[in-house]
Amino acid sequence: MIIDINFIGLIIASIMASAVPLILASCGELITERSGVLNLGVEGMMIIGAISGFALMTVTGSLIIAIFGAMLAGVLISSIFAFLTQTLITNHVATGLALTIFGIGISAMIGKNFVGIPGKEFPILFESLKDTIPLIGPILFGHSIVFYFAFALPFMTNYFLKKTKIGLIVRAVGDSPVSASNQGIKVRLVRYLCILYGGAMSGLAGAYLSMIYTPQWIENMTGGRGWIALALVVFSTWNPIKILIGAMIFGGLTIIQFHMQAIGVRIPVQFLTALPYIVTIIVLVVISRDSRKIRLSTPSSLGKSFHKDN
Amino acid sequence: MNTNLKISNVTKIYPGCVANDNVSLEFNSGKIYALLGENGAGKSTLVKILSGVIIPDEGEIYLNKNNLKLNSPLDAKKNDIGMVFQHFNLFETLSVFENLIIDSDEQRESLREKIDSIMKKYNFSIDLDIPVLNLSAGQKQKVEIIRCLIRNPKVLIMDEPTSVLTEQETSELFLSLKKFSEEGILIIYITHKLKEVMQLCDEVAVMRRGKLVSVSEIKNENIESLANKMVGQNLKTIKKKKAKNSSDQLIKITNLNFTSEDPFETNLMDINFSVNRGECLGIAGISGNGQSELFQVLSGEIISDKNCIEFNNNYIGDLNPQERREYLMAFSPEDRLEQAAIPQMKIFENVALNNFKSSNFFNNGLINENKIKEHSKKIISDFNVNTDNIELKSQFLSGGNLQKLIIGRELITSPDLLICFNPTWGLDVGAINYIHETLIKINEQNKSIILISTDTDELLKLSDKISVIHKGKLSKIMNAEEVTSEKLGILMGGAN
């Protein structure tokens, strides 16, 4: 069997493409969690983003409106979560779970009219450069703008948290909301914004699925990716670069196990399907073992409601 | 550049409690003011009002004749009022510099220069680039002080600053505060420690139950007069009689080691000591030097090697707390609401948690409520717990009453050994006196105590022998009469 070097490039590119929604949603949730808020509604926000993007694209015909509309839909649905947990001080876990159930339900309802409608082609960039360099060409070129944004996002998130004043404030709020409040930082405002940002990124992740990755609407099409994104945040110990690594491993194994199934490797299918989950968690646990670093990057107030006492 | 701060008719009411009742006070720069009072006297509420954390129901605050509206901590900062809180307001996982830059509008470089010059001027030395959780309590406090000084404050408020400091750190702090005062910063010093007021301050205002009781100059006061004003009654002084030299050994610890997997815990190294019947062994040290680990090993929360702990001629190192209680050991942990009692449970339920076998609290797995209630009532009356409602949730007991309940619960079985960890932490003078009397009584009944405490005065008052724990190692055991608080302070700092 002759393996074309460009074919390997294409496999790697498809692995990266499957990692895109995980990276987007995880990086958004990372910011939310770093401010001390645990939003388990990622799956729900993603699916809302997916249906909103697809519906807007079909109705308006504009890809730009569809992409930004999906992000806005993510913001809107996460604002319900923000209002409940920050203003009405409800429990983060219960509210997040409710958000996911709500999102899946409402997306199925809206989506009824969009089943079976073909998607539109999304413009890809640098397509002409794809064949200029073997192996590297197909990996680097010929992707959508969202793809490039997703791979820049972990680095931007890292820079934001470590180098900017607002990033510092987000970390401070997650570390100790009481101290932050005593320093005059508006804890609730910061948390509101972080939740909305997380919503926008989940919405974008969903739109990527329904508009670019598999351009069509299928009910429940996120298929648990929101939960994987949540797990990536925790197992990466709130480190955006490790999220990138985790998402690549997960995406890689998902793609490879598909190919293995296709070739007919004699391993039980159930084991192959479970493989990405197991390996991703093992790898992230192993690379994040330093308990000192875990302590330094874990938001101490994660999931705890902040209630100003006066 | 004189600063005048005036509090006029400030009132703050919480449901069921008047925290500040029409308080008026005036401060002028150049002096150090003490605000003295027991826990719950309202002094913390008053300073939180001054720092904008709490908004008063009534009353005005004037700084240099300007009426201040302090609606948030930011307002206080803008008006040059700096405050160092009792519980540090630092972000543990951020670096020192990040903690300082977060509320500053300056550029990184110019702020760094400013911090360096402040540290140089007052002789502070702190690494700006390590996370705050690696600092000692004294260093954390310095970070808080630097944070205030960056803003060139006119007023600096210190809320019980020495509760976590060693003697040396305390005297360093006092030197700094005097220097600040000379430079024209108005200092308000909140405390319930009388000795510190006498040492440091020029004027003292005493609060009791939300009301201002007196304002006077220190030179007209002494420790007794201030104590009486603070408590509102005359306090008797208690003194321990020296224990008779018994040689009947009760507990012996040999070659005890403990290595923690948590990097923020302290490892215990080669602990050896013994306690005789009727004796109190005090263990001094700055918090975080292995006291909590030592307490857990002694109480059985952490299991050690069987032969490390010999109690009443039995080897019990591998037993859990409940099994150790069967051998007549009793424990009073440091954190009353987290470790010793369950806040949401009623008093009698908390008593039942201590279910030693002989108590008959449970019959065939069912709770014998009458028996428990009877038992609880006895504890409440024997140990002077100020409530007659054993159905009350224990979170509503004051610290002093809760501690009495816990000690009572432990002592009602008349154990041979009581191990207590900071038993009077955060209590007011009256409750401290009661606990101290109780502990002395235990020794008089020929029972023993291991007292792990960060309060050197308490240790010197109650112990027959004293040892110091530093970084998980015990110093040699000294007779209490030969020890002074200075000597303890030096050992606590790690010197020999």
Residue range A128-178, pLDDT digits in tens: 887 788 788 888 898 999 999 999 999 999 999 999 999 999 999 999 998
Tell me, yes or no, whether A138 lies in a domain.
yes
* d(CA A307, nearest CA chain B) in Å: 13
For residue B55, the chain A residues in CB contact (below 8 A) are 310
DSSP codes joined into one string, B267-308: PEEEEEEEEETT-EEEEE--TTSSHHHHHHHHHTSS---GGG
Please tell me the total number of residues recorded for chain B in this structure. Answer: 496
Does A164 reach chain B within 8 Å, measured CB to CB? no
In total, the C-beta contacts within 8 angstroms joining chain A to chain B are 64
For residue A172, the chain B residues in CB contact (below 8 A) are 91, 94, 98, 102
Does B130 reach chain A within 8 Å, measured CB to CB? no
Cβ distance of B131 and A298 shorter than 8 Å: no
Q: What's the CATH code of the domain at A53?
A: 1.10.3470
Does B103 reach chain A within 8 Å, measured CB to CB? yes
Cβ distance of A182 and B89 shorter than 8 Å: yes
Taking all residues of chain B, what is their mean pLDDT, rounded to a whole number?
Answer: 87
Tell me, yes or no, whether A309 lies in a domain.
no
Q: How many domains does chain A have?
A: 1
Cβ distance of B91 and A172 shorter than 8 Å: yes
pLDDT digits (tens, 9 = 90+) for B425-434: 877 777 888 8
Does B58 reach chain A within 8 Å, measured CB to CB? no
Alpha helix (H) residue ranges in B150-193: 167-182
Look at residue A276 and give its three-state secondary structure: helix
Q: What is the reported pLDDT for A106?
A: 95
Does A165 reach chain B within 8 Å, measured CB to CB? yes
Contact (CB, 8 A) for B329 and B417: yes
Cβ distance of A295 and B98 shorter than 8 Å: no
Q: What is the reported pLDDT for B357?
A: 64
For residue A175, the chain B residues in CB contact (below 8 A) are 91-94
For residue B47, the chain A residues in CB contact (below 8 A) are none
Q: What is the reported pLDDT for B155?
A: 93
Nearest to A300 among B92, B263, B264 (CB): B92
Cβ distance of B92 and A171 shorter than 8 Å: no
The domain of A99 spans: 5-297
DSSP codes joined into one string, B318-340: T--HHHHHHTTEEEE-S-IIIII
Nearest to B103 among A176, A184, A292 (CB): A184
Q: What is the dihedral of CA B173, B174, B177, B178, to 10 degrees?
A: -150
Average confidence (pLDDT) over B232-261: 78
* d(CA B398, nearest CA chain A) in Å: 19
Q: What is the dihedral of CA A60, A64, A66, A67, to 10 degrees?
A: 180
* d(CA B287, nearest CA chain A) in Å: 20
Tell me, yes or no, whether A281 lies in a domain.
yes
* d(CA B111, nearest CA chain A) in Å: 14
Please tell me the total number of residues recorded for chain A in this structure. Answer: 310
Q: What is the reported pLDDT for B383?
A: 85
pLDDT digits (tens, 9 = 90+) for B9-51: 999 988 767 889 999 999 999 899 999 887 778 888 898 899 8
Does A175 reach chain B within 8 Å, measured CB to CB? yes
Tell me, yes or no, whether A308 lies in a domain.
no
Average confidence (pLDDT) over B358-386: 83
Average confidence (pLDDT) over B245-272: 85
Place A3 in a pLDDT band, splitting at 50, 70 and 90. Answer: low
Cβ distance of A168 and B72 shorter than 8 Å: no
Does A161 reach chain B within 8 Å, measured CB to CB? no
For residue B98, the chain A residues in CB contact (below 8 A) are 168, 171-172
Does B263 reach chain A within 8 Å, measured CB to CB? yes
Cβ distance of A184 and B77 shorter than 8 Å: yes
φ, ψ of residue B186 to 5 degrees: the values are -80, 125
pLDDT digits (tens, 9 = 90+) for B95-154: 999 999 988 888 889 999 999 999 998 888 899 999 998 888 888 989 999 999 998 999
CA distance B229 to B218: 13
* d(CA A196, nearest CA chain B) in Å: 23
Lowest mean pLDDT among A41-45, A290-294, B62-66, B445-449: A290-294
* d(CA B167, nearest CA chain A) in Å: 27
* d(CA B155, nearest CA chain A) in Å: 16
CA distances from B38 to B42, B162, B190, B430 (A): 8, 15, 10, 9
* d(CA A6, nearest CA chain B) in Å: 46
DSSP codes joined into one string, B114-128: HHHHHHHHTT----T
Mutate to test the interface with A, among B45, B89, B97 (most CBs of A within 10 A): B89
Cβ distance of B94 and A169 shorter than 8 Å: no
Does B432 reach chain A within 8 Å, measured CB to CB? no
Contact (CB, 8 A) for B230 and B208: yes
Lowest mean pLDDT among A18-32, A284-298, B205-219, B282-296: A284-298
B469: which strand partners?
B474
Nearest to B131 among A184, A296, A298 (CB): A296
Tell me, yes or no, whether A14 lies in a domain.
yes
Mutate to test the interface with B, among A170, A179, A300 (most CBs of B within 10 A): A179
* d(CA B285, nearest CA chain A) in Å: 25
Contacts of residue B9, defined as CB under 8 A and 6 or more positions apart, other chains included, come to B22, B23, B24, B58, B59, B60
Q: Which one has a higher pLDDT value, B496 or B409?
A: B409
Q: What is the reported pLDDT for B128?
A: 93
Tell me, yes or no, whether A188 lies in a domain.
yes
**Is the pLDDT reported for residue A18 higher than 90?**
yes
Tell me, yes or no, whether A285 lies in a domain.
yes
For residue A296, the chain B residues in CB contact (below 8 A) are 93, 131, 133
Q: What is the reported pLDDT for A309?
A: 47
Lowest mean pLDDT among A25-34, A41-50, B433-442: B433-442
Q: What is the reported pLDDT for A222?
A: 93
Structural domains of chain B ordered from first start? 4-231 (3.40.50.300), 249-492 (3.40.50.300)
* d(CA A163, nearest CA chain B) in Å: 10
B281: which strand partners?
B450, B465
Tell me how far apart the terminal alpha carbons of chain B are, to the nearest angstrom: 46
Number of other residues whose CB lies within 10 A of the CB of residue B21: 16
Does A293 reach chain B within 8 Å, measured CB to CB? no
Does A308 reach chain B within 8 Å, measured CB to CB? no
Does B486 reach chain A within 8 Å, measured CB to CB? no
CA distance A179 to A211: 43
Nearest to B94 among A172, A178, A298 (CB): A172
Look at residue B263 and give its three-state secondary structure: coil
Does A184 reach chain B within 8 Å, measured CB to CB? yes
Q: Which one has a higher pLDDT value, A44 or B159?
A: A44
Tell me, yes or no, whether A304 lies in a domain.
no
Q: What is the reported pLDDT for A45?
A: 97
CA distance B420 to B20: 34
CA distance B29 to B259: 51
Q: What is the reported pLDDT for A310?
A: 37
Tell me how far apart the terminal alpha carbons of chain A are, to the nearest angstrom: 74
